[in-house]
Chains A and B, each alone.
Chain A
Amino acid sequence: MQEDLNTNAEPVAPEPACAQCGNPHYVEGHATRLCASCRQSLIKFPIPLWVKLFGAAIVVLMVVSLVLSPQNFTAAIALSRAERYEKAHLYGSEQKELKKALVIVPGSQQIQAHMAIASFYNADMVTYGDMMNKLVGKEFEDAELLRELNNLSAYAKDYYASDTLNKLDEQYKNGIPDTTYQHYIQQHPEDLFTQYAYASTVFNKENYGKSDTLLAEIIKINPHHVYALFMQSIAKRELGQLEASVACCDKLLKENPEQVMALSSKARTLLKQGRFKDGLSMAVKAKQLDSSFYYNEATLALAYHLNKQTRQRDAIMKHAQQDSALAGYMQYANEVITGKKKF
């Protein structure tokens, strides 16, 4: 609030003079008679030390605030974009944005919760598990977010090995025998991870027909099982059921149009169908979403090879020679490229 000086209340000096010091030489043309010196000193009416200190403290806080804000803004913008991607089911883009936000605010419950959702749909179960471990026991104000996380938890058990399976794995050093798997699955039909592990074993023995049947059983119980659908898309491709292979990928892509595993597998099926350009563009898209997915590096090498883009193909092959983990995934592509295997 501000108030005017009530000039009527001023003591009337016998002779016109400065109201402050009585100096007869006051400055004309103002509401209050003040000499030049008093006018100047009142214009610069002193600010008490405690107010100055208070102001300085606020300025310091402001500076701290402004130094901190760009980082927080970057994280908040990334989180907002991630939330928008989540609504559009673009979980690949969502996870990319959340990674940026988590670097700046690693302890944010909100970012961790969204990261759990995105990584689950991207079948990145390592990140999902990591995020869920951080969220355990925490209170949630956002009931909708909590409901979504609880829903995912119900499905997540299908992606982790049970204690029994782990014990069996330890017991059989050279791999769990088929009969043991079959017996266990008969007794525990709800244990989809063990069924998936058995289907993988059969798949690795190149028994694609049986693997396809086992995977179909899993998908009957959990139609969203990303790993089962992904493996079934490969099994169907190997069985020459190319349309069915594409259908498996499309099921995954319907739930997450940026599901890198589905994009990469579909790219291979398209290549097998002779749609080389479509296959290449899909593999490139998958690479843009996740450059660390080795299976797609091999798909990309195949796509470049079939599109006669040898320079790009050789660059991937050269890189694979320096990366032992990637080399394993490149074996099939390498055999196709060198003519040892027919694609």
Chain B
Amino acid sequence: MFIPGFLIALATFPGVIVHELAHQLFCRWFKVPVFEVVYIRVGNPAGYVLHERVANKWHNMMISVGPFVVNTILGALIALPAALPMFKFDNPMPVDYLLIYLGVSVAMHAFPSTGDAKNIWEDLKEEETSLPVKIIGYPVIGLIYLGSLGSFFWLDLAYGVAVAVGLPNLIVALVA
């Protein structure tokens, strides 16, 4: 089923906001000036961060993929206590539905966008970019594009559900 991207972004806006906030916080962490932040809007992209071109290639990569880490961890933590009552105990409370919605929304926006990939690509093209950065960077770009392609087949939603719902159940299965 095809649903326009902006509608999905609006329906899962908490994830978009967290994604952009993560970019901004990584910029702040690496002391990179930020010129504009759009946390959510109707359009493509649904949000963005405009920042100074980063000299340190590692920092640039971290700013690009930072939301992947932040959204994944945050999505998993938010959904953690709700996933069990809902899917293990069959006994959810209203707050559990909210937590699952938030957890899935946040986790499904973990994937960096193709704009983030282009940003890394610009760095990798430069001759002075070191070999380790290239070794890490090219697969990261490949994965970002694969994720972007997969989003046509709801890969981002599947990832969100896997993080928010699958992870707690996996932990329980491993510990039990």
Q: Which residues of B contact A55 (CB under 8 A)?
A: 21
Which residues on A are within 8 Å of B, measured CB to CB? 1-5, 7, 29-32, 34, 38-39, 42-45, 47-48, 51, 54-55, 58, 61-62, 64-66, 68-69, 72-73, 75-77, 79-81, 84, 105, 107-111, 141
**CB-CB contacts of B1-38 with A at 8 A, as 1s and 0s?**
00000000000001001111101100110011111010
Are B84 and A72 closer than 8 Å at their CB atoms? yes
> How many chain-B residues does the 8 Å CB contact rule pick out?
59
Q: A31-B55, A109-B90 are in contact. Are A2 and B84 (CB under 8 A)?
A: no
Nearest CB in chain A: distance from B49 CB, A: 4
Are B63 and A2 closer than 8 Å at their CB atoms? yes
Are B102 and A105 closer than 8 Å at their CB atoms? no
Are A111 and B50 closer than 8 Å at their CB atoms? no
Which residues on B are within 8 Å of A, measured CB to CB? 14, 17-21, 23-24, 27-28, 31-35, 37, 39, 45, 47-55, 63-64, 74, 77-82, 84-85, 88-91, 95, 98-99, 102, 106, 113, 115-116, 119, 122, 168-169, 171-173, 175-176
Are B17 and A54 closer than 8 Å at their CB atoms? yes
Pick the 6 closest A-B CB pairs, nearest first: A42-B33, A80-B176, A45-B34, A108-B89, A31-B53, A68-B81
Bound complex: CA A62 to CA B81 (Å) = 9
Q: A2-B64, A4-B119 are in contact. Are A65 and B81 (CB under 8 A)?
A: yes
Are B52 and A141 closer than 8 Å at their CB atoms? no
Nearest CB in chain B: distance from A40 CB, A: 9
Are A105 and B115 closer than 8 Å at their CB atoms? no
Q: Which residues of A contact B37 (CB under 8 A)?
A: 45, 47
Are B88 and A76 closer than 8 Å at their CB atoms? yes
Of the residues A2, A29, A44, A51, contact of B17 by C-beta under 8 Å: A51
Known: A65-B80, A77-B172, A108-B91; 15 extra A-B contacts, CB below 8 A, are: A2-B27, A2-B115, A2-B116, A5-B35, A34-B52, A58-B102, A61-B78, A72-B81, A73-B84, A73-B175, A76-B176, A84-B176, A105-B85, A107-B91, A141-B90
